Amino acid sequence: MAAFASTFIGALLTHTGVMVISYTLHLILARNAGVSEYGVYAYLYSWVSVCALLGVFGFDLAQKKYVPTYFESCDWPRLRGLLFVSIVIPIVISIVLSAGLSYVFRDVLAVTESLRSVSLYAVALVPLVVWVRILQSQLVAFKRPVLAQVPEGIVQQGLMVILMACGSFYALFHVTAKNIFISLIGLTAVVGLLATIYVFKKVYPAELNGRHSSLSHYKMWLSVAIPSAGMSVTALLLKQTDTLMLGAMQGTRESGIYVVASKVAALVSVPLTVANIIIVPYISSYYYSEDRYRLQKYLTRSMRISGAVAVCAGLFVWVLGGSVLRLFGDEFAAGLPALKILVLGNIADVLVGSVGFILMVTGHQWYAFKVLFLMVLLNVLLNYLLIEKLGMHGAALSTAFVTVMWNLILLFAVYTKVNVNPAIFRLTRM
């Protein structure tokens, strides 16, 4: 457990650094672009996030699950084949998705001409984001979870902070949604290139050089990747449905305020995010070796650590949320009620534990996908009903309620199907 604690602290500190850079970036963007332009950027980037996660196509989890196995057994042909497929397929899918999203904004959605023109730059970002995230998942698979957060979280966003701050301070250019996306395209391409060079030179085992690639396990890879992709996208839709529907129903200005509130509330989920990065290989190892005692012990201690940190973060955000929102601009303080609602939902998410990851790694990914898909439909319905009456606060209520619901359902599934309890509270069999 000491090993987990030290790794958790290292990953948490790194992720905290990433969050500081991310919030600094959004602070600069919001204050200099204004609510309306920032709202356009936030709305379009929500679409980029959905398409990028779908583009990864679940190969992030497939790599985390099978790369350690192939590496430890010195199965170099299959390892090389998996790494190759995990880059090529997602890149191809992301290009197709970019073309489809471009068509939707051009010919399907009734949006303003300015939003339509900016969307062309947003969709071009999708394949680049997928490229970087696949490389990051390879770093996690080779047990470098701290380093995996560097390319996108620190390097790209750090350079964006410098670029946007200099552009605004020295009046080099206007901070508009269009210029933000142009900057992101260039910086993401640079980060992707640097990350590729590093992974090939420093991470890939030397034994892969000169080896042929074996695709004999492709069905097994896809059996993990496809449901994982479905579950990842549905999980993201659970988090992005509110932003997308709020932007469509109330306009990008209100969605911009809501996005800032949502990002501040997301501080509560950081400990669970960090824990998920670390524990997936261990869950797989203990489960398939049928060592339920060690699996339960590992989950209990790791979730208690992340839960304690999350509660502290929740209290901080609850008390100082209004002041934090005003840092982005006085208009963003209107999102305080939504912020507090989302904090409650995120705390419940952390206290229940890594239920989704556990079901995916232990072979129950289809069940988890079905539950999340139904929850997405419920979230769409509730958002439609509540946004019309309560605006952004209705979106927050819907998202928090559905978050609690799907976590409790999946917790029951983990307890009955996997025979472990990932929550920080005890469960008693009836």
Task: Kindly report the number of other CB atoms within 10 A of residue 79's CB atom.
Answer: 26
Mean pLDDT of 190-208: 81
Q: Residue 308 has which token pair?
A: 């304690």
Distant-in-sequence, close-in-space partners of 195: CB < 8 Å, separation ≥ 6: 132, 135, 136, 151
pLDDT per residue as tens digits for the range 127-156:
988 988 888 888 888 877 777 777 777 888
Q: Residue 18 has which token pair?
A: 């990433």
**How far is it, in rounded angstroms, from Cα 400 to Cα 138?**
32
Mean pLDDT of 380-394: 92
Distant-in-sequence, close-in-space partners of 262: CB < 8 Å, separation ≥ 6: 239, 242, 243, 338, 339, 342
pLDDT for 364 equals 81
pLDDT for 222 equals 87
Place 99 in a pLDDT band, splitting at 50, 70 and 90: very high
pLDDT score of 368 more than 70: yes
Least confident of 50-59, 295-304, 420-429: 420-429
Phi, psi values for residue 421, rounded to 5°: -120, 105
Contact 15/309 with Cβ under 8 angstroms? no
Pick the residue with more confidence: 9 or 211? 211
- The rounded mean pLDDT for the chain is 83
pLDDT score of 380 more than 50: yes
Cα 139 → chain centroid: 16
pLDDT per residue as tens digits for the range 10-54:
666 777 777 788 888 888 888 888 888 888 888 888 888 888 888
pLDDT for 3 equals 57
Task: Pinpoint the alpha helices (H) of 156-251.
Answer: 157-169, 177-198, 218-250
pLDDT for 5 equals 59
Name the pTM for this structure. Answer: 0.71
Mean pLDDT of 386-406: 92
Specify the amino acid at residue 339. L
Mean pLDDT of 103-123: 82
Specify the amino acid at residue 49. S
pLDDT per residue as tens digits for the range 242-290:
888 888 888 878 888 898 899 889 888 888 877 777 776 677 667 766 7
pLDDT per residue as tens digits for the range 306-341:
888 888 888 998 999 889 899 888 888 999 999 999
pLDDT for 110 equals 67
Residue 89's Cβ-side half-sphere holds a number of Cα atoms within 13 Å equal to 20
Contact 242/380 with Cβ under 8 angstroms? no
pLDDT for 430 equals 42
Cβ burial 113-131 (10 Å sphere, 16+ → b, else e): eebeebbebbbbbbbbbbb
pLDDT score of 428 more than 60: no
Residue matched to tokens 């059996």: 223
